[in-house]
Structure 1
Amino acid sequence: MTEKMRVIVADDHDWIRVGVTRLLQAAPGVEIVGEACDTHGLASLLDNCECDVVISDIGMPGLDGGSNAVSFLRRVLRGRVHPPVVVLTMTSQAHMLSGLLHLGVSAIVDKRDTAAALIDAIQAAMAGDVYLSEQVRIVMKTTEAPPQPRAGVLSAREWEIFQLYAQGFAVHEIAARVQRSGKTISTQKRTAMRKLGLETESDLVDYARQIGLI
C-alpha cells in the first residue's frame, strides 16, 4: 500500500483552512496530520508532527509580534532538513512573490486557484519542483525580468544586512555593527535586493513591511 503524503494546513481564516482541509481529505494519497490558525500553532505542529508538506498562508499573525508568517517560514526553510512549503496567498505584488521563491518556497498558490491547483502544487513540491498557480503566473509576468526560481537564495549575511537596512540602520552603522566595510555592506544590500526582485528603495521598504520587518 502506498504511503499517504502527510500534510499540515495553516491559515488564520477558518473558512479557507476548512475548505483546503476538506479538499485534501477527498484526495487519494493525502493525510491531514495537523491544522493551525496562526504561526504559533504551525510552529508547535512542526515540532510535534512528522509531515511531508506544509501548506501555509503568509498573512497569519507571526511570532514575536510579527505581522505575518514569512519570517518564520524562512527559518523553517533554512533548516538542514525541512518539509517543502506551499504558500497560499492573495498578494498581487510581483516582487513579494519573487521574494518568496528566493526564500525557498516550493509552490505559490493564489487562493482563487486553490481548488484547481493545490494537488498539483503538492505533487510538484514533493518532486522537488517549483509550482506557480495561474493567477500567480499572471502577476509574475508583470515584471520586466521574471526571476529564476531559487537562482539566488539569500545567504545568512545578506539576510542580516537586509533586515538591518530595512529597520532603518544606515550603511555605516551596519558596517560598524557587523565589522565589515561600508563598501561590502552596500554590495551585500544590492545583492539581496536583486535576489528578492526589488529595484528601488521604495520596493525594499514595501517588501520589508509586508513580511513584518517594519
Structure 2
Amino acid sequence: MTRVLVVDDQFLIRAGLAGLLRAAPGIEVVGEASSGGEAVSLAAETRPDVVLMDIRMPGMTGIEATERILAQAGGTPPRVLVLTTFDLDEYVYGALRAGASGFLLKDSGPERLLAAVAAVGAGDALFAPSVTRRLVEAYARRAPDEQPPALEALTSREVDVLKLCGRGLSNVEIADRLFISEATVKTHLNRTMTKLNLGSRAQAVVVAYETGLVTPGTAGR
C-alpha cells in the first residue's frame, strides 16, 4: 500500500486529486494539506511514502516545503512528486535541486497521475524523464545558488554511471551500456549519492549537468 499526502492550496484541485487516489487500488491518502507549512507538519505526523506537492503556493512554496520535509524525515524519507502548471517552470528545477523525485503536469490525465505515483512510490527517481531532461537543459546553464560538488571523490566507474544517469538512461539501460549488472549500477549510484551528499537520483541528474558531465543537447545520446 502506497501512503500519499496530497498538498495543494486550491481546494477543488486538492479534493479532486485526493478523490482520484482514494479510488485507486493500492493507494491510501493519509492526509491533505492546503499550504507548505501544513504539509511539513502532516508529513512528520503521517510519514507518507509519497508527497504529491503543489509547487506554487502562497507563503511557504513547494520548494521550501520539500526541503523541510526531507530534512526532518527519519529513516526512509518520502518521495516528493511535484505538481506544476507549466512543463518548463523554473520552480520545478529548484524542486529537483531540493531533493524532489520528479514532477508532473497538473493537466496530466488520471492514468498518468496514478502511474507517476506508483513509479515514484516504487523508487523510480524521475517520472517522464524526457520532459525532465528538457527542463534541466533549460535551466542548467543558470548560475546555481551554490557551487556543484566536486567529482574527485568518485571512481571512474561511478563517473560513468552518473553521466549516463544524467543522460536519462534507466538502470537497465546503464547496465547494458556498461556491461555490468543492474545491481552493480544501483550500488554505484548509491555510493555516488552518498559521496556527493545527494538525496535523490533527480539531484544526481542535476549535478551531472552542473558539473559538465552532460551538456544541454546531448541527453539521451
Partner of 1:140: 135
User: Does the 8 Å CA contact 1:102/1:152 hold for their aligned counterparts?
Assistant: no
Alpha carbons of structure 1 residues 139 and 194: separation in structure 2 relative to 1, 3 Å: closer
CA RMSD of aligned residues (A): 3.7
Larger Rg: 1
Structure 2, unaligned stretches of length 5 or more? 142-164, 169-188, 199-206, 212-221
- Paired residue for 2:58? 61
| Kept in 2: contact 1:110–1:133 (CA 8 A) | no
Q: 1:101 aligns with which of 96, 100, 110?
A: 96
**CA–CA distance in structure 2, aligned partners of residues 90 and 100 of structure 1:** 14
CA contact (8 A) 2:67 2:98 kept: yes
The question of whether the paired residues in 2 share the 8 Å contact of 1:11 and 1:36 is answered with: yes
Q: Output the CA distance in 2 between the equivalents of 1:119 and 1:75.
A: 25
What's the TM-score once normalised by structure 1's chain length? Answer: 0.58
The 3 A distance-change label for structure 1 pair 90 and 135 is farther
Structure 1 contact 94–139 (Cα < 8 Å) conserved? no
User: Does structure 1 retain, via aligned residues, the 8 Å contact 2:43–2:69?
Assistant: no
* Aligned residues of 2:140 and 2:210 also touching (Cα < 8 A): no
- CA shift in 2, pair 1:114/1:16, >3 Å: farther
Aligned to 2:107, the other structure's residue is in SS state helix
Measure how far apart 1:130 and its partner are.
2.4
Pair 138,194 (structure 1): closer, same or farther in 2 beyond 3 Å: closer
Contact 1:84 1:105 in 2 (8 A): yes
Q: For structure 1, which segment, 102-111 or 12-21, has the greater mean C-alpha deviation from structure 2 after superposition? A: 102-111
Kindly state the Cα deviation for residue 60 of structure 1 after the two structures are TM-superposed: 1.7
* Contact 1:109 1:136 survives alignment (8 Å): no
User: Could you tell me how far 1:107 is from its partner in structure 2?
Assistant: 2.3
Instruction: State whether residues 90 and 110 of structure 1, in contact with CA within 8 Å, keep that contact through their aligned partners in structure 2.
Output: yes
Match of 2:70 in 1: 77
Residues 136-180 of structure 1 show CA distances to partners (whole Å, capped at 9, x for unaligned) of: 459538749899279989869xxxxxxxxxxxxxxxxxxxxxxxx
Residue segments in structure 1 that go unaligned for 5+ positions in a row = 157-190, 196-214
1:96 & 1:129 partners in 2: Cα distance? Answer: 21
> Closer, same or farther in 2 for the Cα pair 1:136/1:17, shift >3 Å?
farther
* Per-residue deviation, residues 85-113 of structure 1 (Å, max 9, x unmatched): 11111134365433332322112000011
Q: Which residue in the other structure is 2:81 paired with?
A: 86
